[in-house]
């Protein structure tokens, strides 16, 4: 897996969390990493959307609580995810859909920067809505592809690969 994808999928939000015993925390992280490394390309996209949404929800709450460092850290993580999504678009394979997604990701990225600079949750909430719609569509597509794979009707990329159009 590419280092940027692994860091974008990091499950560590930028906020204090209750400490787990080191052994338990290490096992949890090992499980999460295995889950990421064995995911299909379409499931990885869903996971990226879920991560970005989670980070932005934390950022919105942090802005409301005037915790600007926490908000900034989580917005930067969401930005990294959006940049990762943009970087894996295959414009040759995806054609117009990939171009449209690229334009949407560009808009989303600009909204994240705007919200971060202005300490304004409104653009972040808009992005959460956009990402949730994309996540829902990709989740549905991932389920369809998984069913097709199970029936031997789909021979797309193997788990862990990133050869997809959007």
d(CA 111, CA 125): 10
pLDDT reading at 2 higher than 60: no
pLDDT in tens, 146-159: 888 888 876 655 44
Q: To 5 degrees, how large is the angle CA 136–CA 115–CA 134? A: 10
Torsion angle (degrees, nearest 10) of CA 9, 7, 75, 21? 80
pLDDT of residue 33: 66
pLDDT of residue 8: 56
Mean pLDDT of 101-123: 98
pLDDT of residue 139: 94
Give me the residue label for tokens 């997809």. Answer: 164
Task: Sketch out the chain's domains with CATH numbers.
Answer: 3-10+17-150 (1.20.120.340)
Confidence bin at 9 (pLDDT 50/70/90): low
User: In whole angstroms, what separates CA 103 from the centre of its chain?
Assistant: 17
Q: What is the pTM of this model?
A: 0.75
- Across all residues in the chain, what is the average pLDDT? 83
Higher-confidence residue: 1 or 116? 116
Mean pLDDT of 22-44: 73
pLDDT of residue 95: 92
Q: List the single range of 19-23, 77-81, 91-95, 157-161 with lowest mean pLDDT.
A: 157-161
User: In 10 A of CB 48, how many CB atoms?
Assistant: 24
- Read off the tokens for 19: 């400490």
């Amino acid at each position: 897996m590419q280092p940027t994808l692994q860091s974008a999928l990091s499950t560590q939000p930028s906020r204090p969390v209750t400490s787990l015993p080191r052994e338990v925390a290490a096992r949890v992280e090992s499980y999460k990493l295995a889950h990421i490394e064995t995911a299909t390309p379409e499931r990885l996209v869903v996971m990226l959307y879920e991560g970005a949404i989670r980070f932005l929800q934390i950022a919105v709450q942090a802005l409301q609580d005037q915790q600007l460092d926490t908000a900034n850290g989580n917005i930067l993580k969401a930005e990294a995810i959006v940049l990762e999504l943009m970087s894996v678009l295959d414009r040759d394979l995806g054609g117009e859909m990939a171009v449209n997604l690229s334009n949407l990701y560009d808009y989303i990225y600009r909204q994240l920067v705007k919200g971060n600079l202005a300490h304004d949750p409104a653009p972040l909430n808009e992005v959460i809505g956009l990402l949730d719609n994309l996540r829902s569509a990709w989740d549905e597509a991932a389920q369809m592809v998984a069913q097709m794979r199970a029936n031997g009707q789909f021979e797309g990329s193997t788990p862990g690969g990133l050869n997809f159009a959007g």
